[in-house]
Amino acid sequence: MEAQQLESIAFTQALQRTRDQRRHLLLGNGFSIGVHRAFGYPSLYEDAVSRDPGLAALFPLGDTNFETALEQCREPATANRVREGLIRAVAAVHPEHSLSLTEEQCRSCRDFLEPFVGRTRSPPGTLFTTNYDMLLHWVLSRQGKNEGTKQRSQLKCWDGFAGNGEWNQYSNTAQAFYLHGAVHIFEFPQHRFPDRLYTRMLRYEWGRPLTKQVDALLKEGRLPVFIAEGNSQKKKARQRGHEYLAAAKAKLRTVCSKDANGVLFTLGHSFGDSDDHIAEQIGDGIIREVYIGVFSNRDKLRAQELAATWAAARVAKRAPPVAVRWFASAECAVWDGLRSAA
């Protein structure tokens, strides 16, 4: 599909323009790398190969992208080896606990999220992330915990998991979803029905930060709920096999196909070929405005390609057109003091 020129817009201007609409937000790895660069593929590759030197032979020469390696895997056992290497690397390079994020960084990130899921937002939107890490969870968990005894949460954003961590499959009020799973989400056998599994998000326990709990489970041979496939079709198939991931996918589909007054912002997401299952939801839907955060010229070109693809899909389905604009992701300064009009 031929790329088309897109209108650029300042992030603060995009917020002003959409002040009366429901804003949804899709986060990619750039969100986490902005505060913890070890989540970049080069660092993850180094850690994975240090644990399993044979992994290096499964990657194209000079390429540290795990999805590229997975796409080339022909044997299921080899693909599982790469997937496990990735998730163990994410856990290994992860900051030790939530206090690794300073109060200033959490406050800044909350300011960034507030125009989407702030308590005063009406109507509030939904947060989606394709990241495996716990940074978003930590920020949401620490909201409103500044000094003082009469704090109200700045954000209104429930992840759908109960106080004991179990996924509430019957709730439709959750506002934060991990589309590809995360290192702190696991499946466990049910006590009454051992052959059935339930999904649980790990919760902090005294003396046992989440990272220690994850490490203990990994040492037992358990892997978290996560998708790390080399192409979009395989990711879609894996989503269907997990109760939580299927629910997250359904929520994104609902946002894109039923929220005619909603708008979608993206940040830190490159929309690579392996994530076509996400891009397709936008093209197949009725959401009328998309604002794409752009970090590089390559991101800008990809945004232009997506705009053309979505425009053609809407014409073919006789669906409402979608206006696509881009903003410089550097304007957001998520972790170091964003101040923008909501």
pLDDT-based confidence at 275, cuts 50/70/90? confident
Taking the C-alpha atoms of residue 203 and residue 275, their distance in angstroms, rounded to an integer, is 29
pLDDT digits (tens, 9 = 90+) for 282-330: 999 999 999 999 999 999 999 999 999 999 999 999 989 999 999 999 9
- The 10 Å CB-count burial string (b at 16+, else e) for 302-314 is bbbbbbbbbbebb
Taking the C-alpha atoms of residue 125 and residue 143, their distance in angstroms, rounded to an integer, is 17
Helix (H, G, I), strand (E, B) or coil at 23: strand
Domain assignment of residue 207, yes or no: no
Taking the C-alpha atoms of residue 14 and residue 25, their distance in angstroms, rounded to an integer, is 13
Rounded to 10 degrees, the C-alpha dihedral 14/16/18/24 comes to 60
- pLDDT above 90: residue 129: yes
Among 42-56, 155-169, 173-187, 327-341, the range scoring the smallest mean pLDDT is 327-341
Taking the C-alpha atoms of residue 71 and residue 158, their distance in angstroms, rounded to an integer, is 34
Amino acid, single-letter form, for residue 310: W
Percent of the chain past pLDDT 90, that is, above it, reads: 59
Tokens describing residue 37: 């660069």
Do 59 and 177 belong to one domain? Answer: no
Do 62 and 73 belong to one domain? Answer: yes
Average pLDDT of span 204-217: 90
Domain assignment of residue 212, yes or no: no
Do 170 and 150 belong to one domain? Answer: yes
Q: CA Rg, the chain, in Å?
A: 20
* Domain final residue pick, 72, 93, 114: 93
Domain assignment of residue 341, yes or no: no
pLDDT score of 79 = 87
Do 72 and 111 belong to one domain? Answer: no
pLDDT-based confidence at 341, cuts 50/70/90? very low
